[in-house]
Structure 1
Amino acid sequence: MESAISDVSPTLTIEIAARAALVEFSRAHRQNPFSQARMRELGGILRALDANDDVGCIVLTGGNGRSFSAGGDFHEVSTFTGGDEVNNWIDDITNLYTTIAGISKPVVAAIDGYAIGLGLQIALCCDYRVGSDACQLVMPELRMGIACNFGGFMLEKIVGRSVMQAMLFTAEGWNAQRALEDRLLHEVAPASKLVSRALEQARKIGSWTSQAVQGTRPNINAAF
């Protein structure tokens, strides 16, 4: 079965084919920042795809020629006037991470351009990360005066304490080769082949026995 869903959101589109669902962050802004509404939309889409029997694996991408995500929409954050708004924003971030890590179907991140802060953390919640040869992965929160507890926890689980400390405290960008060497990425592909390579992996994963995959993922992510 093949389908394309373009009216779910003006900033998120979905295509389903060969048991792989491609979710594209299609915001007009090329760096794909995430507003609260967009976080909620993505969470809802992921839950719907998790319940769709035609889907065995999900790919997240920023779209052709776009960054995966430059992180949170700080223009939106700058309009907050009180603690309740900040707390709601943090709750939306936490809920999105929990959704990505908690659904039963594996998620592949196809990362081009920048994956910064919240954008990188979304990718870290995924099971498999393919980066383009031009990607840059950055965790700049401390440089910006923002605590980075979620990011630090995720990084330590995935790449270990030493790399986590280097990323957080230097706030430097990791290029594709360095990210591959430090296990932030599972593989690197040319930008022109990034999405096709991610879909290739997703279709392979989606072909496995669904009961085995969906019985495994929640358990291995429980501590994450």
Structure 2
Amino acid sequence: MSVGPSTGSPVVAVQDPTGHIGTDAQRLDEHVAEIERRLAALPAVPDRTPEDRDRAAALHADVRQARRAFLARHAETVYALLTDGMARRVRLPELVRDAADRFPGLVPTRAQMAAEGHRIQAEKEGREIDQALFCGAVLRSPTAGSHLVETMLRPTPRALALLDVFRAEGRVELDTVLVERRGTAGHVEFRNTGRLNSEDGRLIADLDTAVDLVLLDDRIRVGVLRGGAVDHPAYRGRRVFSAGVNLTDLRDGRISFVDFLLGRELGYVNKLLRGLLTDPAPGAWSERGVSKPWVGAVDTFAIGGGMQLLLVLDHVVAEEHAYVSLPAAEEGIVPGLGNLRLTRLTGARLARQVVLGGRRIDATDPDARLICDDVVPADRMNDAIENAVTALSAPAVAANRHMLTVAEEPLDLFRAYLAEFAVAQAHRTYAPDVLDKVERRWQQRERRRAAGGNRP
């Protein structure tokens, strides 16, 4: 029997894994059931005393240690069983749900996650951290992790359902994204207008669909990402590239770890960089997938996740009064794969200034040339975009950008980074400093609304 840190509360010990998955799975299930019984005896999260919070933290730490030990031995076997020996392509959300059904205790149950979904972030148990342990273990495996990465590079069912319409009409309008074919360019325009084109669950899903459609349409040779005009009082009628993750949704508990924080990186962002896997048969990627060059057009600003997108694009056009930033130090979370990708564009010193120090880079700053290819007045943005599309339409561009990706970010490097990112990001989204910051921002916004203020 072990004792929780500084609580004196006994925690039931679980035996070390035997190596036999059936025996170990049963022991894990029994251990988790006992921990859950003890958690259920505590008050609800918002009603817990400091001592209650310490007890809960000790119980969660205990069960996570047991889950890590099980996964260290059995992650590849679990993944093989969930995918029929990797014969089936199971997308991440379904994989996590199937793991809960087939291996009780390994990840939180569907009912537990549904209950979490009705709570604000600060009042959750933090069960997404347990999902992250599972995802990280799968990604850490070269065989299972590579299979999952490739699975998430497959076209989404929604995109396949819309493909015939898009090919015929050259336009699909989603809830928060417009995707349109103009000549040989596929234009993807963010239209989360009331939220400064910030990323939320709807926008992530729509972008996954839109990027698929651009990559699947044979008449399109180059993709273009641009923010549409917004309704926010401070920027009404102006184009904005992106304000990054929607922090109000994070505070309200609507930023899903599986679908958003990890699914975004495995989904549309990785597709921008690597393209789509269209043929699951073994072979060289150039024989199995389709990739296209991408242009980014930055009006006003690209903050957080918006700036992260620029790091996987092939040509970035910025309006001369725009700026970019990765406010990770301010927000307290990990800026996606910005830590992996920014350094190779800017060098280590500038990357640290941006990520650790929150440095903002204006489009006219000399250092902006490391991120933006063209900086032009607002009235020349359309021409600059068209020039970039023309330059990237050459037949050899797609093959050469693929080889650049192979050299700069091999799949195994991406996979290994994402395995660490998954666990680190899940912990950060439940860290006290992050919860305090998003709550303060929410309260400030509510006070402004009550006073009739229009500041962002």
Q: TM-score range by the shorter chain?
A: 0.7 to 0.9
Which of 262, 266, 273 is the matching residue for 1:101?
Answer: 273
User: Does structure 1 retain, via aligned residues, the 8 Å contact 2:295–2:315?
Assistant: yes
Q: Are the equivalent residues in 2 in contact too, given 1:108–1:126 (CA < 8 A)?
A: yes
Once the two structures are superposed, what CA deviation does each residue of 1:50-106 show, in whole Å capped at 9, x if it has no partner?
A: 121111101100025221000012222222289xx3344221221232111111100
Which amino acid counterpart does residue 155 of structure 1 have in structure 2? L
In the alignment, is residue 29 of structure 1 matched against residue 202 of structure 2? no
1:100-135 deviation digits (Å, cap 9, x = unpaired): 111110000000111011111012111111100111
Q: What is the identity, as a one-letter code, of the residue corresponding to 2:391?
A: K
Corresponding residue for residue 190 of structure 1? 377
Q: Aligned runs of 1:27-176 on 2, under 5 Å?
A: 27-29=192-194, 31-64=196-229, 65-80=238-253, 85-95=256-266, 96-103=268-275, 104-148=291-335, 150-176=337-363
CA RMSD of aligned residues (A): 2.3
Higher-strand-fraction structure: 1
1:23 & 1:149 partners in 2: Cα distance?
21
SS in 1 for 2:206: helix
Question: Are 2:407 and 1:220 aligned?
Answer: no
Distance change in 2, residues 1:2/1:203 (3 Å): farther
CA contact (8 A) 2:176 2:206 kept: no
Distance 1:44 1:179, change over 3 A: farther
**CA distance in structure 1 between the partners assigned to 2:325 and 2:180 by the alignment:** 28
| Residue 172 of structure 1: how far off its partner (Å) | 2.4
Seen in structure 2, the aligned counterparts of structure 1 residues 81 and 16 have a Cα distance that, compared at 3 Å, is closer
**Which region of structure 1 is more displaced relative to structure 2, 125-134 or 145-154?**
145-154
What TM-score do the two structures reach when normalised by structure 1? 0.87
Cα shift at 1:149: 5.9
Instruction: Report the secondary structure of 1:216's partner residue.
Output: helix
CA distance in 2, matches of 1:19, 1:111: 21
Using a 3 Å threshold, how does the CA distance of structure 1 residues 178 and 67 change in structure 2: closer, same or farther? Answer: same
Cα distance, 1:186 vs. partner? 0.7
* TM-score, normalising length: structure 2: 0.45
Higher helix proportion:
2
Q: Decide which moves more: 39-48 or 117-126.
A: 39-48
Which whole-Å CA distance do the structure 1 matches of 2:326 and 2:197 have between them? Answer: 16
**Cα shift readout 1:126-149 (whole Å, capped 9, x = no counterpart):** 111110011110110112211336
Which residue pairs with 1:5 in the alignment? 171
Amino acid across the alignment from 1:53 = D
1:17 aligns with 2:182: yes
Residue type at the aligned position of 2:343? E
Asked whether the 8 Å contact 1:2–1:16 carries over to 2, the reply is: no
Separation in 2, partners of 1:81, 1:52: 32
- In structure 1, runs of 5+ residues without a counterpart are none
**Contact map agreement 2:175 2:202 (CA 8 A) in 1:** no
The whole-number CA distance in structure 2 between the counterparts of 1:36 and 1:149 is: 15
CA deviations on 1:21-47 (whole Å, 9 max, x unpaired) are 111112222621011231122122112
Q: What is the correspondence of 1:199-218 to structure 2 with a 5 Å cutoff?
A: 199-206=386-393, 208-209=394-395, 212-218=396-402
- Looking at structure 1, the residues matched to 307 and 205 of structure 2 have their Cα atoms a distance apart, in angstroms, of 17
> Relative to 1, partners in 2 of residues 1:51 and 1:120: Cα closer, same or farther, differing over 3 Å?
same
Aligned mates of 1:172, 1:178 — CA distance in 2: 12
Describe the shift of the 1:3–1:173 C-alpha distance in structure 2 as closer, same or farther (beyond 3 A).
Answer: farther
1: distance between equivalents of 2:168 and 2:227? 21
AA aligned opposite 2:200: S
Deviation sequence 1:184-209 (CA, Å, 0-9, x none): 11110111221331122113322x12
Corresponding residue SS for 1:77:
helix
The equivalent residue for 2:55 is: none
**2 CA distance for matches of 1:62 and 1:179?**
24
Offset at residue 178 of structure 1 (A): 1.5
Q: Do 1:32 and 1:66's aligned partners in 2 also have CA atoms closer than 8 Å?
A: no
The amino acid across from 2:257 in the alignment is V
Separation in 1 of the partners of 2:187 and 2:258?
31
Q: Percent identity?
A: 21
